[in-house]
A and B are shown apart, each in its own frame.
Chain A
Amino acid sequence: MVSVQKPPGRRERPYARVLLPPAIVMAAAAGAAVALVPPPARFAVGVCGALAVLMVLGTAGEAARRGRRLREAQAEHARHVAQLEQRIAAHNELMARFATEVLPNGFYRLRRGAVLRNVVRDVFDADPYLRSLPDGYRELIRMALRGADQEISMRDATERSFVSVARRVQAIVHQQAEELREMEEDHGRNPEVFDDLLRIDHGTSLIGRLADTISVLGGGRPGRQWPQPVSLYSVLRGAMSRILEYRRINLASIVNINIKGTSVEPVIHAAAELLDNATRYSPPTTKVHVTAVEVQSGIVIEIEDCGVSLSEESRARIERMIEDAKNGEDAHNLGENPRLGLAVVGRLCKRFDMEVSLRSSAYGGVRAILVVPRVMTTTEPGVGAVQAHGIGAAAAQIPTADAVEGPKRPAKKRRPTSPKIPAGISLEDDVPEVTEWTAGGLPQRRSRVKTSLTQRYAEQAAIERAEREGRPTIWSQREPEPEPEPEIDPERKKLMERPPGLWMEDFWNGLRQGMPPDTPTHELTDFTLHPTKYLHLLNDSADYAEGATAGAAEADDEGDLK
């Protein structure tokens, strides 16, 4: 800053005061010379002295004039420099204002979804000072905002496409899960198929969680909505079922409370991500302990693992990461950092007013604390609480037309020391049901009719008594009545006495030879002459069959004995 302005009075010093001293000195010198020189030279000296005085006056005047002009030029220059410096300062200030106020404001509005034209109008044209600036500044701001606008809209479009893809995956996974559940019920009796189905079910759930993660990172909702409140235990089990190593999760002392249907999915997803982190960053043989207690502000879910403890530095880093995620400023982290879980948790916490913090665990690992606000909980009856609160309550809640009522047993005072067959069970059921006897005396089993043990003992006794007394019983072999010897035709008798097999040969011979009508009688076989005599041969088998059916009927009759 070189603004050493000379006082203006000095610049305004009149010429007389500048010119007078040299002129007086010169005139005095000339007068002295005129007085000292001899008289004849006085005139010439006087003339020279006058000339010299004039010349001094002239020179001094010129010098003074030039000096004044120089000073004026210097002053002008200094003014100019000052003005330029002022402008530079103002410019710097303007740039700082652009950087700290105008552009961030514009970017913020653009991110909130404002149109570029309106943003330029609001942040630039609204200010009279900025409006007075040359057009170049406005163009500069507009171009910068336009570039940002394009990037933001492109990012939005990308996110939307991701979210829509995630939505579809979620829909498919959801349907798949429902169908898998049906299949699990259909094939519940077949353990091999059932276990395979469970494995597929698990894989599907993992896919579903990834889809939820994409959806949340893209600004969407974390999955489906649940129509009814769900108990916290079921919610945590739902979270458990969405991670790879769900077997290591130990749910202990979960407070009995229900989560509102709209809030179920965020809690499940946030808890699943925290559980996933806990199982991932702890030794694979250790358990992860989950507890949930009710506090004034809501529910506190604590997830403790037995992994590596968290140093203060890394804790600060993780909390910063979550904080970034809450503000949605972690986009640059997501690419290089595979820990999407915390980003998802941060976003969910931001959107649903949950809180998450990480502490060192007493087990030496990390303790993640998720605070679920009270507005997410409800006292309405929920799904899953059924099993926690007892079966009877559930049966009362969903009465169906053909529902089978649960057992209504009175509570026992003490449990039996050794479980015995309850008195109500009839032992008669154990009696084998033998109600019929075959002709040979072997028991025949019928399923429907029951004969009581006492009755059969009585029967048995009666049979034995009858046997002792010689009366016929069902066991006694029926002596066949000697049939009256049928009157045997002599021809037939002769035939019967023939060696067996010969008659057959004759029969066939007779048939083979044919029977011309004029055949002499002695050539014809007996069969050909009297065919009716041989019918009994055919009837024998029929008799046998008849006897069999009669026997069966007999057996039936005996079987009806009661």
Chain B
Amino acid sequence: MTPPRRTRRRPQPLVPEPAPRPPQPAQPTAADGRRPRPNPERLYSVAGSDGARAELDLVTLIVARTAPPVSATPEQSAVLRLCRAPLSVAELSAYLGLPFSTMTVLLTELITDELVHARAPIVRQAVPDRSLLEAVMHGLQRL
């Protein structure tokens, strides 16, 4: 009566591990990171399953605008505490242990409530510098 079990997909290391790490008896389940500590709350109760999602990237920086209000959920207040300095969505997702999609719903609620700012990451070469343009110009002229 045991249903088929799913083997979890995980990224395969390119290089095989040279030596297996000695087992750590002190941390039976939580240490290897595979099994999260059992928690009765499901992800959809943390952030709605069909919540709207803003255009957030993994590297979008989140900055808190206010201190956590009283009515904030634990996740929201954690985000607001962590984001006193800009933090990327990926980092928040890792610290809170929530998947990216849940994080975006959570952050979208916060953005809608005007509790945080989302700032596009500083993209390299978004604004090309002058020397590059000049170089291109020279090169084109000499063709």
Per-residue CB proximity of B34-52 to A under 8 Å, as 1/0?
0011111111111011100
* B40 partner residues in chain A, CB cutoff 8 A: 226, 230, 234-235, 237-238, 241, 264, 268, 384
Q: Is B120 an interface residue (CB 8 A)?
A: no
Q: Is A113 an interface residue (CB 8 A)?
A: no
What's the dominant secondary structure at chain B's contact region?
loop
> Smallest CB–CB gap between A512 and chain B, Å?
44
> Smallest CB–CB gap between B143 and chain A, Å?
6
Q: Is A13 an interface residue (CB 8 A)?
A: no
Whether A440 pairs with B3 at a CB distance below 8 angstroms is no
> Smallest CB–CB gap between B70 and chain A, Å?
8
- Find A442's partner among B21, B67, B136 (CB 8 Å cutoff): B136
A475 to B38, CA, bound (A): 66
A441 to B48, CA, bound (A): 55
> Smallest CB–CB gap between B100 and chain A, Å?
4
Whether A443 pairs with B37 at a CB distance below 8 angstroms is no
* A194 partner residues in chain B, CB cutoff 8 A: 99, 101-102
Per-residue CB proximity of A161-188 to B under 8 Å, as 1/0?
0000000100010011101011111111
Q: Is A252 an interface residue (CB 8 A)?
A: yes
A199 to B100, CA, bound (A): 17
Q: Is B71 an interface residue (CB 8 A)?
A: yes
A442 to B132, CA, bound (A): 10
Whether A241 pairs with B44 at a CB distance below 8 angstroms is yes
> Smallest CB–CB gap between A218 and chain B, Å?
18
> Smallest CB–CB gap between B142 and chain A, Å?
5
A195 to B67, CA, bound (A): 30
* B59 partner residues in chain A, CB cutoff 8 A: none
Which residues, 75 to 104 on B, are CB-close (under 8 Å) to A? 75, 78, 81-82, 84-87, 91, 93-96, 99-102, 104
* B64 partner residues in chain A, CB cutoff 8 A: 415
Known: A184-B99, A238-B41. A172 touches B3 (CB 8 A): yes
* B67 partner residues in chain A, CB cutoff 8 A: 415
Whether B132 pairs with A443 at a CB distance below 8 angstroms is yes
> Smallest CB–CB gap between B101 and chain A, Å?
4
A477 to B139, CA, bound (A): 11
A230 to B39, CA, bound (A): 7
* A429 partner residues in chain B, CB cutoff 8 A: 122, 124
Known: A391-B82, A430-B124, A442-B135. A401 touches B21 (CB 8 A): yes
Per-residue CB proximity of A525-552 to B under 8 Å, as 1/0?
0000000000000000000000000000
Known: A191-B101, A235-B40, A398-B30. A198 touches B87 (CB 8 A): no
A415 to B86, CA, bound (A): 11
* B91 partner residues in chain A, CB cutoff 8 A: 407
| Chain A: interface residue total (CB-CB under 8 A) | 78
- Find A191's partner among B53, B84, B95, B117 (CB 8 Å cutoff): B53
Whether B43 pairs with A201 at a CB distance below 8 angstroms is yes
A421 to B3, CA, bound (A): 53
Pairs across A and B, CB under 8 Å, 16 listed: A191-B53, A191-B104, A194-B101, A227-B38, A237-B42, A241-B42, A384-B40, A387-B78, A390-B81, A398-B37, A400-B32, A415-B65, A422-B86, A434-B132, A443-B132, A460-B131
A residues with a Cβ closer than 8 A to B are 168, 172, 175-177, 179, 181-191, 194-195, 198-199, 201-202, 205, 226-228, 230, 233-235, 237-238, 240-241, 246-247, 251-252, 264, 268, 383-384, 387-388, 390-391, 398, 400-401, 404, 406-407, 409, 411-412, 415, 419, 421-422, 425, 429-432, 434, 437-438, 440-443, 453, 456-457, 460, 475, 477
B residues with a Cβ closer than 8 A to A are 1, 3, 5-6, 8-9, 21, 24, 27, 30-33, 36-46, 48-50, 53, 63-67, 71, 73-75, 78, 81-82, 84-87, 91, 93-96, 99-102, 104, 117, 119, 122, 124-125, 127-129, 131-132, 134-136, 138-140, 142-143
